[in-house]
Structure 1
């Protein structure tokens, strides 16, 4: 009797290597969040310094986003992504080797941003042409997409950078763990909320964007209450709301961009939205610098008021200026 042929192993999904690379880059970008609590409590670093080190990710990210596509065109996608992952690993090891050195942590954050930018943009080259100019100049981009863009990462960073330290005294000995839990909760809810943006999206309105902005405003107000009452529970509730707002505003912005440009131009025009959205990374620094002028509950409430203004602008122009 002839032996039956061996069953061929299932093929690896084509998206899996790219997904794993992005997950690794994302890990490098977000691992600083729970470590920030260690720097505040054990190293006694000033809150403004810790926030500056968090924001140092952004100056590295933006050049990486701009240069990753052209580098991939010249050297190949795989080579660029592999180099980005090696850089991310080295950037993670640098602060570990010199954990008490702000300069080492800053260098690590900068390198992590560069690595993440290259990994994110290697598969989508940036050729800035006519469609990008048309998209930027379109009234719908100016009055609907842009007002909501900073809320994307502004919501996420308020949730897992700003709020956990405000209640650190309520979780003595567990501040880093609590920060990590809040970060995981925020980002997980953001992923779960993104398909809802597709369902809410409508060709004649911006209801997905408006829903995301309303959710962010609610999260900021709950965060203000959490800061006022030193409530760990309300921080978790705020993280859920801000995470949902992060996911909704991120996906709805990309859906709006898809309405303004043809499929061939989407890789380039999507970076216009991403660039505006990454401005939200400056939110923790802005709050830390102004914390001496007003308490955090007042600052977070003020951000909610600004969000209401942006919501009014987006709602005002959401039914006009069709693509």
Structure 2
């Protein structure tokens, strides 16, 4: 009796492709977050050691946004036209130059202004180009294993890791190392070099130049899967092509209605925790203000990291559930912050920073997931840039609070911020209930 051998390809049928290229590019997002937050932990030190006024240090915190906006809007389109790789490398180099200027600012304080401005430009370009790069490397043909929304979560996690560790490292170095205004910035230079080295091993993904709309640079050409992997896995429902009608080809209305109102709160929450709260509650922390500020800069985005699993579960339940939870956390954090400031309670302020950080993490996860679902491939970096530009408007909040505290009590000003947050929450809940489920991504 003869037996028939099974087909040679049966063992490899439906085998998913799972490359880790996104892991290499993720570190550019960490470098972006680190560059933004390393300065935040040193605000008190600049005030105490260099004699800068509170208004000046807060303005230096906010001037970052003036650079970030053009960085986003120039970096996004450039990454779509020229490719992710050249924009990322140029942004990393510019970010390193900005850090050198901040180091020189310890002896020539005028250099702090261009240093912060260039930090914003570099960070903005990294956010738009790096975020798009991670999204594409988390999708076929590079990765057929990742679930929907994985790219958005990865971008947010890498960015939050940079926010959390950059400020804490700078604060600890500034507290105990010699020449703190110089040595506190050295880790970012090392991180930028490491991120560039790792990203150099990741493939280019953008459709650029004359390659044609059907070819992704660095990606396998369309066609059958390579023989070692056997037949391609059965496709899951996919979005319509970019040229077809539907939500993916016209992201504007959905973006304006459901994403734009939430975006500024992404950084309203942590900017208040980082730049406003420490200086209002540290009266009894003589000699430890910098360390306390560093702990706050770690706790705030650290809480954003911890809520990532919650964000994933909420997103699976309803399209706007993550945004509603995030805005509710922001409101709760503002109420706690007002209490902490009124009673001058550093412990309560630290709790408020954690709650505000959770609001940040939920809001950023919601925004990035929506952008990834709405944007066609040839507009991904542009829409990502629009999202981050709106997010970073929130960085202006501490400066506005500083100006208003000349007229009102700080706790009153913080309570006033609750009002627009509650209005945004009600607006998104109403629109989201009408919109229904998210388009397949």
TM-score (normalised: structure 1): 0.86
Q: Mapping of 1:1-323 within 5 angstroms? A: 13-72=20-79, 77-99=84-106, 101-123=108-130, 124=132, 134-138=250-254, 141-202=255-316, 204-262=318-376, 265-322=379-436
Root-mean-square deviation over aligned CA pairs: 2.8
Task: Give 1:55 deviation, angstroms.
Answer: 0.8
Task: Give 1:142 deviation, angstroms.
Answer: 3.6
Higher share in helix? 1
Question: Is the deviation greater in 142-151 or in 259-268?
Answer: 259-268
* Residues 126 and 40 of structure 1, relative CA distance in 2, 3 Å threshold: farther
Tell me the number of residue pairs that the alignment of Structure 1 and Structure 2 aligns: 310
5+ residue gaps, structure 2, are 1-18, 133-205, 209-242
5+ residue gaps, structure 1, are 1-11
Q: Distance in 1 between matches of 2:408 and 2:207?
A: 41
Cα deviations by residue, 1:204-224 (Å, 9 ceiling, x for unpaired)? 552211111000000000001
Q: Distance in 2 between matches of 1:77 and 1:262?
A: 16
Task: Give 1:105 deviation, angstroms.
Answer: 0.7
SS at match of 1:122: helix
* Contact 1:69/1:126 (8 A) holds in 2: no
Cα deviations by residue, 1:142-179 (Å, 9 ceiling, x for unpaired)? 44323222110000101111101112222111111111
- The corresponding residue for 2:188 is none
* Contact 2:83/2:207 (8 A) holds in 1: no
Q: Distance in 2 between matches of 1:237 and 1:213?
A: 17
* Residues 255 and 176 of structure 1, relative CA distance in 2, 3 Å threshold: same
* Residues 277 and 44 of structure 1, relative CA distance in 2, 3 Å threshold: same
Cα deviations by residue, 1:228-286 (Å, 9 ceiling, x for unpaired)? 11111011101110000000011112233345445664443333322221211111111
Question: Is the deviation greater in 166-175 or in 224-233?
Answer: 166-175
Question: Is the deviation greater in 13-22 or in 152-161?
Answer: 13-22
* Contact 1:48/1:285 (8 A) holds in 2: yes
Q: Distance in 1 between matches of 2:313 and 2:22?
A: 24
Task: Give 1:319 deviation, angstroms.
Answer: 0.6
TM-score (normalised: structure 2): 0.64
Cα deviations by residue, 1:76-101 (Å, 9 ceiling, x for unpaired)? 54443333222222211212223254
Q: Distance in 1 between matches of 2:79 and 2:369?
A: 26
Q: Distance in 2 between matches of 1:167 and 1:297?
A: 11
